[in-house]
């Protein structure tokens, strides 16, 4: 997996916040259409109803220029998705800046035609400075503020000195006297201070938000790297398990056949102690072969081998056939086994048949292996809320509460089970749990040392019954 450097994530944008900012491009265009409409309606209605001196032509010209500009922006925005991400990002930034500057200039002209220092449109600058502080860089906002302050001061001075004619609107502006320089200076001071404080506040909030987002992004990249490392380690582990299994299998098979050959060539008069040692060696080699088989099975499964087609499996029938197969082992161990399917042998699940067989084979052989002579094994199945519950209960050695969670860890065997029998690999339950989870189910264990254990498998039932 490829990771991108912190300041340049794969999609070309820096943080989700900046991505969201760029998505506001279309929003700015929409807002400008509303603004143009409001200016046109306001100018025409204001002139005919309240303000006969309102220079409606000049205002409509400005509204038309803004409208034309917005049309161009809209046309460009339609083409944006065709551009490559990096170019699109740079262009959107530039276009947002152009729009903000164009809005400032248009607003300055409108302020002049609606009463200058007394224009009600002065409030719109607050809104524009907020947009700049939120969406654009602090540097751009500072330059913008300087532009607004210088250009507005020049406008106020030119109007009050009579350099350009001041628009006087009866009822809105002071009619019969020129505005005093003190009034203009006082107004400008408080107005500009408001803009500067607001811009500083918003920029500081946005800076800290952006910093936090970058930190979150950095953490995400680190997390992804750690995940990558973990999955590489586990791949390596599986590869090792696989190689080790294959490498060990042939020498052990050779030792078993040599041992058999040795026994045959030694003839029937072998002393009893030698025969006993032979049997123990043979038993140990069989255990080792079983362990290698399970190790290879686990490695294959973790490599993604899927075990064939998913089919509908009649679980009660499968349990019945398994019980039949295990009958000899059960009676040899001096045990008895009962089976009860609450649905007259008609529970259907969708799974790999070989996997389902493996799950219950493991659990039943454990129940036999860890039972004591005379014990009973009960198999019960029932349906609950659309799920199949199969319980395998034994009256065997049991498991201590603190060991239950570790049962599904590779190679784990409880101290009681080690004392009870040397046979066992500690891999069967790991395989069983993975198979159950792959089939969308789970396994639960209840047990008491010396009394016995219940292994409960919960699997989703197939959608409709029958074959």
- Residues lying near ligand ADP in the complex (CB under 6 A) are found at 362, 366-367, 370, 394, 396-399, 407, 412-414, 417, 424-430, 453
Residues 100, 199: contact at Cβ < 8 Å? no
> In the complex with ligand ADP, which residue's Cβ is closer, 116 or 424?
424
393 DSSP β-pair partners: 378, 454
Dist CA 147 CA 134 (whole Å): 18
Least distance from ligand ADP to the Cβ atom of residue 372, Å: 11
> In the complex with ligand ADP, which residue's Cβ is closer, 39 or 427?
427
Q: Report the 10 Å Cβ neighbour count for 354.
A: 13
> In the complex with ligand ADP, which residue's Cβ is closer, 144 or 426?
426
> In the complex with ligand ADP, which residue's Cβ is closer, 144 or 396?
396
> In the complex with ligand ADP, which residue's Cβ is closer, 398 or 441?
398
> In the complex with ligand ADP, which residue's Cβ is closer, 32 or 357?
357
φ/ψ of residue 258, rounded to 5: -65, -40
Query: DSSP secondary structure string, 117-165?
Result: GG-GGGHHHHHHHHHHHHHS-HHHHHHHHHHHHHHHHHHHHHHHTTSSP
Return the beta strands (E) in 172-287 as ranges.
none
φ/ψ of residue 379, rounded to 5: -115, 120
DSSP state of 116: G
Least distance from ligand ADP to the Cβ atom of residue 395, Å: 10
Least distance from ligand ADP to the Cβ atom of residue 297, Å: 12
Q: How many residues does the chain have?
A: 467
Least distance from ligand ADP to the Cβ atom of residue 408, Å: 8
> In the complex with ligand ADP, which residue's Cβ is closer, 98 or 438?
438
Least distance from ligand ADP to the Cβ atom of residue 16, Å: 45
Residues 252, 289: contact at Cβ < 8 Å? yes
Least distance from ligand ADP to the Cβ atom of residue 254, Å: 24
- Tokens 């219950």 correspond to 360
Query: DSSP secondary structure string, 345-372?
Result: S--EEEE-HHHHHHHHHHHHHHHHHT--
Sign of torsion over alpha carbons 420, 422, 428, 430: positive
Least distance from ligand ADP to the Cβ atom of residue 255, Å: 21
Least distance from ligand ADP to the Cβ atom of residue 229, Å: 28
> In the complex with ligand ADP, which residue's Cβ is closer, 157 or 404?
404
In the sheet with 376-384, reading across from the earlier edge strand, the strands are 336-341, 376-384, 387-394, 452-460, 442-448
> In the complex with ligand ADP, which residue's Cβ is closer, 136 or 399?
399
Least distance from ligand ADP to the Cβ atom of residue 330, Å: 14
Q: Which helix (H) or strand (E) holds 444?
A: strand 442-448
């Amino acid at each position: 997996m490829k990771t991108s450097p912190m300041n340049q994530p794969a999609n070309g944008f820096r943080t989700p916040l900046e991505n969201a900012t760029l998505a506001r491009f279309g929003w700015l265009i929409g807002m400008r259409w509303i603004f143009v409409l409001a200016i046109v309606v306001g100018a025409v209605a204001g002139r005919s109803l309240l303000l006969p001196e309102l220079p409606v032509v000049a205002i409509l010209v400005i509204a038309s220029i803004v409208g034309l500009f917005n049309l161009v922006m809209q046309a460009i925005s339609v083409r944006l998705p065709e551009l490559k991400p990096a170019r699109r990002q740079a262009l959107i930034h530039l276009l947002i800046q152009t729009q903000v500057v164009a809005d400032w200039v248009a607003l300055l002209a409108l302020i002049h035609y609606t009463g200058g220092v007394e224009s009600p449109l002065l409030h719109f600058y607050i809104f524009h400075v907020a947009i700049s502080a939120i969406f654009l860089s602090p540097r751009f906002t500072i330059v913008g503020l300087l532009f607004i302050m210088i250009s507005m001061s020049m406008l106020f001075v030119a109007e009050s000195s009579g350099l350009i004619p001041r628009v006087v609107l009866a009822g809105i502006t002071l009619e019969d006297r020129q505005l005093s320089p003190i009034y203009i200076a006082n107004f400008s001071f408080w107005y500009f201070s408001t803009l500067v404080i607001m811009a500083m506040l918003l920029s500081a909030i946005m800076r800290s938000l952006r910093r936090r987002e970058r930190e979150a992004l950095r953490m995400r990249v680190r997390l992804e790297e750690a995940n990558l490392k973990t999955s590489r380690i586990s791949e390596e582990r599986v590869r090792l398990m696989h190689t080790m299994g294959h490498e060990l299998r042939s020498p052990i098979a050779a030792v078993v056949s040599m041992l058999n050959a040795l026994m045959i060539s030694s003839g029937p008069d072998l002393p009893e102690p030698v025969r006993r040692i032979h049997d123990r060696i043979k038993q140990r080699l069989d255990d080792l072969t079983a362990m290698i088989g399970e190790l290879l099975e686990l490695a294959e499964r973790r490599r993604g081998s899927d075990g064939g087609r998913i089919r509908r499996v009649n679980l009660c029938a499968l349990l019945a056939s398994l019980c039949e197969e295990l009958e000899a082992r059960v009676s040899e161990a001096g045990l008895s086994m009962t089976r009860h399917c609450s649905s007259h042998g008609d529970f259907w699940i969708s799974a790999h048949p070989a996997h389902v067989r493996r799950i219950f084979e493991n659990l039943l052989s454990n129940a036999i292996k860890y039972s004591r002579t005379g014990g009973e094994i009960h198999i019960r199945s029932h349906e609950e809320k659309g799920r199949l519950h199969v319980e395998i209960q034994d009256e065997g050695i049991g498991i201590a509460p603190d060991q239950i969670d570790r049962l599904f860890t590779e190679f784990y065997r409880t101290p009681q089970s080690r004392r009870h029998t040397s046979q066992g690999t500690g891999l069967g339950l790991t395989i069983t749990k993975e198979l159950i989870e792959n089939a969308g189910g789970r396994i639960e264990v209840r047990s008491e040392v010396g009394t016995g254990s219940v292994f409960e498998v919960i699997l989703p039932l197939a959608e409709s019954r029958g074959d």
